[in-house]
A and B are shown apart, each in its own frame.
Chain A
Amino acid sequence: MDADRGIERLPRGRHGLSPEFVAQNQRRRLISGLTQGLYEVGYQKTTVSLIGRRAAVSKSDFYKHFGSKDDCFVAAYDAAIERIRGQLVAACEKADGKAWSQQMSETIEALLKLFATEPALASMVLVEGLRAGRGVYDRYQAAIESFVELMRQTEPPSAEGTEAPEATDEAIVGGIAAMLGRRVLAGETEQLTELFPEILEFVLGAYLGAEEARRIVSAG
């Protein structure tokens, strides 16, 4: 889990590491510290001192990286979205050339696995991002839109003469994000992978019709 890796301290004393490396490492640790703190004690109680303590970075070093806790939050949020996008792109590429339903299947699976193994990341992206106020909400919206774009790069086979309308892709991605957010709020993050067949059926159903979606999902 990347968040844990990020927390690892560098060796003390003389280590011959470049200042840039140390700075990058500190930044990553601070982002992990905030993400974990947010998950465990919520935004209010995740103070700059707590982030620093968790990251083993001094308060004055914190301010070399970020102007404020909010700044750090936005950076953490962006980093989380980038990781998700990376996973989705990798899954899409791996499934390239396969049937559309298989591409969807592998992408959804990758997303759920990532959230289930990193509950702090899931919580920040799906729950805290929405609640944090306008600035971060814009990023949530941009992220959803970029996932919609990603989805549009795949070509769903449209059932006889019908075409899924414009808003469908957006409603699907936004709807899944909202549903997952509700599961995360309910404390079911680690069980998210169990939702895989349901989500797949939901996505396929919107394009192929309910009967066809059921057939594909049942066939595994």
Chain B
Amino acid sequence: MSSTRPELSREFVAGHKRRRMMDAIAELTAEQGYEATKIADIVRRAAVARKTLYDNFDGKEDLFLSAVSATMTEMRVVVEEACERSGADPEAGIVAGLEALLDFVAEHPSASRMCMVEAISATPSSARLYDAGVHDFVELLQKSAPDRAELPETIEESLVGGVAWILQLQIRKGDAERAPELLTELSQFLLSPYPGVGKVVNTGRRK
């Protein structure tokens, strides 16, 4: 054996590099904003060659959009899965989904900042991605909500907007890690418009 390196497949290495570049742009834009983040910073942080970046992405914006989009999808999937796992009770589903979202933000502060703060003002395309992501959550909440037949259409837009706003404040304060502490308050807020749902929510917080 001439090398102690484990053999990794070409696909694995390539995928890993893509991931590193997306993580790097998330960290860098979270630290210094989209505008100030240069290609040179990204390749240095990701420890890849400049050419690797251009082999995978058209440039900074393309990489940024890919990273935002991937994080948005991840976020939606963890929330959806948590909702489904919680069973048939819509109230429990909403609380479980919210809990999963808050945990995601706490565990991925840079990626969350990239999606929920930087994406809004970075470029017109990233703003559209943000809007589409919010729209997905609005639909998800409408789907999960307790009997909402008589409720106006805009209710979930305001609810999702409100939760996003609180998280944006939290992230901008540099307190993303403490997002899970908001569970009780935000559950109460999220459930407040639905008739028949208890006003005081017992969230049974673990940890």
Contacts and interface: CB of A to CB of B under 8 A. Distances in A.
Contacts of B50: none
Interface string A187-213: 000000001011101100110011101
B106 interface: no
A154 to B, nearest CB: 18
B166 A211 contact: no
A206 B194 CA distance: 10
Contact of A182 (B131, B152, B197): B131
A71 B182 CA distance: 37
A36 B120 CA distance: 22
Contacts of A100: none
Given A167-B166, A178-B157, A134 B33 contact: yes
A204 to B, nearest CB: 10
Interface residues of A, number: 42
Given A165-B188, A174-B166, A205-B192, A134 B121 contact: yes
A179 B159 CA distance: 9
Contacts of B189: 165, 167-168, 171-172, 206
Nearest to B120: A130
Contacts of A182: 131, 134, 157, 161
A174 B161 contact: yes
B69 to A, nearest CB: 18
Given A179-B154, A206-B192, A210-B192, A168 B161 contact: no
A144 B193 contact: no
Query: For chain B, what secondary structure do more than half of its interface residues adopt (helix, strand, loop), or is it mixed?
Result: helix
A131 interface: yes
B29 to A, nearest CB: 11
Contacts of A150: none
Contact of A133 (B35, B164, B197): B35
Interface string A47-89: 0000000000000000000000000000000000000000000
Interface string B112-135: 000000001100100100010010
Given A131-B121, A167-B182, A210 B169 contact: no
B162 A172 contact: yes
B131 to A, nearest CB: 7
B54 interface: no
Contacts of A205: 192-193
B59 interface: no
Given A144-B165, A167-B166, 20 more contacts: A130-B120, A131-B121, A131-B127, A133-B35, A165-B184, A166-B185, A167-B182, A167-B185, A167-B189, A168-B189, A170-B166, A174-B161, A174-B166, A175-B163, A176-B161, A179-B161, A199-B158, A202-B155, A209-B199, A210-B193
